[in-house]
Amino acid sequence: MQKLLYIVLLFSFLSSCSGYRVKRDENPLARYNIHSLAIPVFQNKTNLPNVSAPFTKRIVGLLNSFSGLKIYSGLNKEADAVLLGIVRSPRHLNETLTVRSNRFTGDVTPQNMKGRRDFFIPERNYVNLELSLVLIKKPRKEELDIFSSDIAPYLKGMPRIILNEKMNLKGAYYLSNLDRAGSAVNDTQSAGNLEKEIDTLAIQASSNFKTMVLYAF
């Protein structure tokens, strides 16, 4: 990330000196002769359900905002290139979702738990994910299989690979074990909070990707 920030700052400085301006709504992939892009639904290789859809949606939305770049949903032989996305997590769920803070039940113990000693319950969790993005021109089927595998991040320097990067994404969300009156255990609301945080991470990934395609490659 420090290298990426340095590139952005250097580019901004050179632009101000030369009078050159990037039109941000134009296709940033045109320099690679990419005018159409196929984007299959991102793969979910996490231990959480329904994770890949928000990332696919946010990245597709970003790329649709550039004029001169046609986006195909799913694989399409007519496309100049394919963008593959893989969302990964640590192997174990307790590493993907880690407790950030606990709450002392104190005097907000639910009625059905009266008589028990007060105790700590998880109040806030971290969520740890990784997004890999591979942009490759006119890939063959066997190449798509390889780049969808776990060895994809190590495949660098191939002539038709335009981008092969990964982002570490970390967020936090509140659990809803007890409401303020101490009367309910609300797993449904906790799941909703996690879904919102995953969408926030997808927006963050989209912003990072925008910086990459505009400045860094």
What's 148's domain CATH number?
3.30.160.150
Statement: residue 5 has pLDDT above 80: no
Helical axes 187-211 vs 52-64, angle rounded to 10°: 40
Identify whether 7 is part of a domain: no
Identify whether 34 is part of a domain: yes
Number of domains comprising the chain? 1
Lowest-confidence region among 7-11, 54-58, 62-66, 91-95 = 7-11
Identify whether 73 is part of a domain: yes
Please count the other Cβ atoms lying within 10 Å of the Cβ belonging to residue 131. Answer: 25
pLDDT band at 24 (very low <50, low <70, confident <90, very high): low
Percent residues over pLDDT 70 in the chain: 66
Strand partners, 86: 43, 132
pLDDT tens sequence across 175-214: 765 444 443 445 556 778 889 999 999 999 999 999 988 8
Identify whether 171 is part of a domain: yes
Can you give the residue range of the structural domain that contains 55? 22-216
Closest to 11 measured CA to CA, from 177, 190, 212, 199: 212
pLDDT tens sequence across 31-47: 999 999 999 999 999 99
Identify whether 4 is part of a domain: no
Identify whether 16 is part of a domain: no
pTM: 0.74
